[in-house]
């Protein structure tokens, strides 16, 4: 299980790096890991994909109020 802060940072980083393909990229990584028996890590990537989808839904549902800021704006890209 990923802690909330780490999950948010990972999701933001994926969005920064992959844009609209972020959730599908996280799911692809999960599938690849699962194929190699890495069930716990695959589950973490599925959590990241879910967080990305929630962020996108909030972004589209609330307009500017749900806007996702790039991770670099908060300094999270450094860690």
Tell me the per-residue pLDDT of 21-47, one tens digit each, with 9 for 90 and over.
999 999 999 999 999 999 999 999 999
Instruction: Decide: helix, strand or coil at residue 76.
Output: helix
Q: Token pair of 64, please?
A: 């500017």
Backbone φ and ψ for 8, nearest 5 degrees, come out as -65, -45
pTM tops 0.95, yes or no: no
**Could you please report the per-residue DSSP string of 26-42?**
HHHHHHHHHHTT-HHHH
pLDDT greater than 50 at residue 51: yes
Q: Token pair of 72, please?
A: 């670099």
């Amino acid at each position: 299980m990923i802690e909330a802060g780490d999950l948010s940072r990972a999701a933001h980083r994926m969005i920064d790096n992959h844009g609209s393909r972020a959730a599908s990229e996280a799911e692809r990584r999960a599938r690849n890991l699962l194929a190699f028996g890495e069930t716990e890590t695959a589950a973490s990537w599925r959590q990241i994909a879910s967080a990305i989808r929630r962020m996108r839904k909030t972004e589209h549902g609330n307009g500017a109020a749900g806007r996702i800021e790039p991770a670099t704006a908060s300094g999270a890209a450094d860690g």
